[in-house]
Structure 1
Amino acid sequence: MNKYNANHIRRVILDMAYSGATVHIGCAFSIVELLAVLYRKHLQVDPANPAISTRDYMVLSKGHGVMAQYACLHELGWLTDDDIKRYFKDGTRLKGLADAHVPGVEATTGSLGHGLSVAAGLALAAKLNKTEQTCYALVGDGELNEGAIWEAALFAAHFKLDNLVVIIDKNGFQAMGTTDDVIALGNIEEKFRAFGFDAVTIDGHDETAIDAAYSSMKAARNGRPKAIVATSVKGKGVSFMEHNNIWHYTRLTPETYAAAITELGYTA
């Protein structure tokens, strides 16, 4: 099996969600390919030392999608099989939102809108230290409702943080409905361009397009921060979860777990 295989990552997410009797499956599924390509090829880390000072940073501002990141950290070897089995259970170190106490998780997030500010600060520090580090921040489209996102965007452009790559998971939903119904976002790519970013819109499940976007953005050290608007499907990979916002907060039953695992090509 290829490292960071998307179907395998989704299988691990389902196992965590079922074992922990917890939620946020759909919003983890929409970012699987974005994280898989990042960890497979672009995020520069030392597998033997998660805290090495020269590492690239990955800030999951969309902290409720953390099961997808945990699955990648498991592939990397920083989380054990036991960690995965004990997700969301008493005494576990893997909580339902991103937690900086976990190796490879750079910020405690879940209170939406703050992760991008953390990422911008890390990117500025790297600039001041004259390193070649890249800082990636993954935010949800619903998270763009938060004013702190746009304050961070202004900050990033002002300090010419061309080592900052913001990845927007544009799945069209947030907890209480569609983004168009809650607060319409308009053209997200144009908004980031207006804030001084290089920006591009891609298919958030096309690994070739994702790879190309990461490569081109990292190479363009031109004084402009970067934004990749990734159009995605909430619940991607399991037909009864796709575009179905009930899976933001719905827990798996034995029947739905078995059905989802089967769709991914595995045996429950």
Structure 2
Amino acid sequence: MEVNTKELQNIAKTIRKDIVTMLTESASGHPGGSLSAVEIVTSLYFNEMNIDCKNPHDPNRDRFVLSKGHAVPVLYSALARKGFFDASELKTLRKMGSKLQGHPNMNYVPGIDMSTGSLGQGISSAVGMAMAGKLDKKDYRVYTLLGDGELAEGEVWEASMCASHYKLDNLTAFVDNNGLQIDGKCEDVMNSNPIDDKFKAFGWHVIKIDGHDFTQIINAIEEAKNTKDKPTVVICKTVKGKGVSFMENEAGWHGSAPNMEQCEQALKEIGGEN
């Protein structure tokens, strides 16, 4: 399908700038895995999902669950730029009294469908939402985003087995396959490769793409929507810290915030009008 990639690229630049500035302001958080997921989240929120900031609890809305909850800056930015809350609130990330906690909290932030943070629980919740949609005969779709390091959690595979067993073709999972986690390379810490063969063995339809290519992401979403009787996983090859040269492919930027000088350099590299 045709994709307005120029518009999505501009939104992605804004989101990347939001991530860098809010983490600089908070002096804590997780930039690497937030930046690697920008194109995935942008595609869902600004091209695909049926959501309305004026009616965030619409029972017929599409759902999104950020299973890798530590990457919440990318979600906060998308929600703010989509109109769920004022973008000026982004600067309150992780501060006392702010509703923008270090992990998603559905009780405080409009547009968040599930509180997450304990890895593995997000996809489990998404499976439950998809099953509810089937039982209620609703047409909404459920999307969830996992980190590749998260795949070491056994709960991920219990949920995956359940999704296949119940033929949840209204569920699409994205794996942010940037190859790094807090302690180093995923393959060194706990090797989950080959990711595609594992999901196939659990009965999922598997798509492998470049997770920074909007056309590939949107086409994968369409393929998932046309796949019947099984859930779909989109394995997205990404770059941790994408868009900021000194953060790219560096495990040390998993959970370290930039200082002001680094922020200024990052914003210059990201570019764009905003």
Unaligned runs of 5+ in 1: none
Aligned to 1:107: 114
Task: Check the 8 A contact 1:115/1:137 in 2, yes or no.
Answer: yes
Aligned to 2:270: 264
Quick check: 1:2 aligned with 2:12? no
Give, as a single letter, the amino acid of the residue that structure 1 aligns with 2:205.
D
How does 1:77-116 map onto structure 2 within 5 Å? Answer: 77-101=83-107, 102-116=109-123
Aligned to 1:60: 66
Task: Give the distance between the partners of 2:50 and 2:258, measured in 1 at CA.
Answer: 35
Give, as a single letter, the amino acid of the residue that structure 1 aligns with 2:157.
W
Task: Check the 8 A contact 1:70/1:79 in 2, yes or no.
Answer: no
Q: How many residues in Structure 1 have an aligned counterpart in Structure 2?
A: 267
Tell me the CA shift for residue 186 of structure 1.
1.5
Give, as a single letter, the amino acid of the residue that structure 1 aligns with 2:241.
G
Task: Give the distance between the partners of 2:136 and 2:15, measured in 1 at CA.
Answer: 35
Tell me the CA shift for residue 2 of structure 1.
2.9
Tell me the CA shift for residue 219 of structure 1.
2.1
Task: Check the 8 A contact 1:192/1:227 in 2, yes or no.
Answer: yes
SS at match of 2:235: strand
Quick check: 1:211 aligned with 2:218? yes
Task: Give the distance between the partners of 2:243 and 2:256, measured in 1 at CA.
Answer: 16
- Give CA-to-partner distance per residue, 1:194-242, whole Å, 9 cap, x none: 111111110000011001001110122x111110000100000011100
Give, as a single letter, the amino acid of the residue that structure 2 aligns with 1:240.
F
Give, as a single letter, the amino acid of the residue that structure 2 aligns with 1:86.
T
Give, as a single letter, the amino acid of the residue that structure 1 aligns with 2:186.
T
Task: Give the distance between the partners of 2:161 and 2:222, measured in 1 at CA.
Answer: 24
Tell me the CA shift for residue 266 of structure 1.
5.9
SS at match of 1:227: strand
Tell me the CA shift for residue 84 of structure 1.
0.9
Task: Check the 8 A contact 1:142/1:174 in 2, yes or no.
Answer: yes
Tell me the CA shift for residue 82 of structure 1.
2.9
CA RMSD of aligned residues (A): 1.5
Indicate how the Cα distance of structure 1 residues 219 and 47 shifts in structure 2: closer, same or farther if over 3 A, else same: farther
SS at match of 1:38: helix
Aligned to 1:132: 139
**One of 228, 243, 247 as aligned partner of 1:241:** 247
Report the TM-score, using the length of structure 1 for normalisation: 0.96
Aligned to 1:142: 149
Report the TM-score, using the length of structure 2 for normalisation: 0.94
Tell me the CA shift for residue 267 of structure 1.
9.2
Quick check: 1:19 aligned with 2:25? yes
**One of 29, 47, 50 as aligned partner of 1:44:** 50
The alignment-based identity, stated in percent, is 40
Task: Check the 8 A contact 1:23/1:247 in 2, yes or no.
Answer: no
Quick check: 1:153 aligned with 2:160? yes
Indicate how the Cα distance of structure 1 residues 122 and 267 shifts in structure 2: closer, same or farther if over 3 A, else same: closer
Task: Give the distance between the partners of 2:229 and 2:211, measured in 1 at CA.
Answer: 25
Give, as a single letter, the amino acid of the residue that structure 1 aligns with 2:19.
I
**One of 166, 191, 198 as aligned partner of 1:184:** 191
Task: Give the distance between the partners of 1:123 and 1:267, measured in 2 at CA.
Answer: 38
Task: Check the 8 A contact 2:161/2:202 in 1, yes or no.
Answer: yes
Indicate how the Cα distance of structure 1 residues 78 and 46 shifts in structure 2: closer, same or farther if over 3 A, else same: same
Task: Check the 8 A contact 2:24/2:263 in 1, yes or no.
Answer: yes
Task: Give the distance between the partners of 1:254 and 1:89, measured in 2 at CA.
Answer: 18
Give, as a single letter, the amino acid of the residue that structure 2 aligns with 1:68.
V
